Amino acid sequence: MATKKFLELQDYSATDLESELEATIVQYQKLKFDHAIKGLDNPLDLREIRRDIARLKSEIRRRELADASPEVLARRSKIRARRRKH
């Protein structure tokens, strides 16, 4: 089942995703610093922001793979098959 945030990210353009990722990373760093200095009221916010960053990176990567050429995908599948053997 897709989450609401995942569905929202699909509507973003590539540039919006990149700018949102940068802003979220800056927000995470600021919260992490504040938590180290004085503590946060809700430290679970750090986890939620980390997960948002992962969602953004996943959507960016999913779009990269969707736009990739067949040669790149074939090379990628060979590498993945080689990893499975070991």
* Structure-model confidence comparison of residues 26 and 84, the more confident one: 26
Per-residue tokens: 54? 């992962």
Reported as a single tens digit per residue, the pLDDT across 35-68 is: 999 998 999 999 999 999 999 999 999 999 898 8
Q: The domain 14-85 is classified under which CATH number: 1.10.10, 1.10.287, 2.60.120, 1.10.3470? A: 1.10.287
Mean pLDDT of the chain: 88
Give the chain's radius of gyration (CA, Å).
17
Per-residue tokens: 10? 């699909």
Q: What mean pLDDT comes out for the span 7-25? A: 91
Q: What is the pTM of this model?
A: 0.81
For the chain, the first-to-last Cα distance in angstroms comes to: 32
* Structure-model confidence comparison of residues 28 and 86, the more confident one: 28
Catalogue the E-assigned strands of the chain.
none
Per-residue tokens: 41? 């009221």
For the chain, what are the domain ranges?
14-85
pLDDT at position 1 over 70: no
